Amino acid sequence: MKKNIVLFVLFILPIVAYLFFASGVNGFTKLPTITPNTADFGNWQSLDGQKVTLNGKVTILGFMGTELLKNRGNLFNLNQKIYQRYHEFKDVQFVMICPTGTEKDAKKVVDALGAFTDVAQWRFVFASPDEIKVYYDQLKLVEKLDDKLGTPKVYIVDKKRNLRGRKLVKDAKEGYSTFHPAELSNEMLDDFKVILYEYRAALKKNNNATRKI
């Protein structure tokens, strides 16, 4: 019996530990900053009338465009793969920027999600087409919005309003496609865990007993 325990500690346990830490592409290292100090939303109107800000929140940021209902399947993918896992963390929010005039469509999406999800961390904000274009441009992303002011990709913004992602040798991973569930389950989930790990490590270092993440 003791021999089996020794063998487990010497051979099996190191392998398990390696697989755990190697399971993510970033291996729980710091996720690079793609665009620092992005702009906040100012006084943009939200669906529930409450002020929405990026400050002090880990934000999943999206641009839904005028065809919100047509592309609602993308939000359902995001809801199932990411939101459901982390919506109970009060420092996490999912913010979708939509053109003014799509409020009723956004309400329909929220109601549909609310049938099986606590939608408290889903936030929809509305702005004019010009405001959305200016806001998106200041993110300095390679890909552009489509002619409907939308994109299937979502982005990770940290508590200090830095847009985070991967800086690869040949390309950068700025955002994550909500059209492909596998990308959400793999690349995005992995990177989101890295962000949360950063804050957990900082809270632990500072002995913060009131952590929210």
- pLDDT tens profile 186-211: 999 999 999 999 888 876 766 654 44
Q: CA–CA separation, 123 vs 120, rounded Å?
A: 8
Which long-range CB contacts under 8 A does 36-44 form with residues at least 24 apart? Answer: 36/162, 36/163, 37/160, 37/161, 37/162, 38/138, 38/139, 38/157, 38/161, 38/162, 38/163, 39/135, 39/138, 39/161, 40/161, 41/125, 41/127, 41/135, 44/125, 44/126, 44/127, 44/131
Give the pLDDT confidence score for residue 201 in this predicted structure. Answer: 80
**Start-to-end CA span in the chain (Å):** 41
Give the pLDDT confidence score for residue 167 in this predicted structure. Answer: 76
Other beta carbons within 10 angstroms of residue 176's beta carbon come to 26
Give the pLDDT confidence score for residue 168 in this predicted structure. Answer: 67
Give the pLDDT confidence score for residue 111 in this predicted structure. Answer: 97
Give the pLDDT confidence score for residue 52 in this predicted structure. Answer: 97
Specify whether the CB–CB gap between 157 and 69 falls below 8 A: no
What is the set of domains in the chain, with CATH numbers? 31-211 (3.40.30.10)
Low-confidence stretches of the chain (pLDDT < 50) are 6-9, 13-28, 209-211
Q: CA–CA separation, 48 vs 152, rounded Å?
A: 24
Which are the contacts of 26, defined by CB distance < 8 A and separation ≥ 6? 166, 190, 191, 194
- pLDDT tens profile 4-36: 554 444 555 444 443 443 344 444 478 999 999
Give the pLDDT confidence score for residue 180 in this predicted structure. Answer: 95
**Would you give the distance in Å from CA 63 to the centre of its chain?**
13
Give the pLDDT confidence score for residue 15 in this predicted structure. Answer: 47
Give the pLDDT confidence score for residue 1 in this predicted structure. Answer: 57
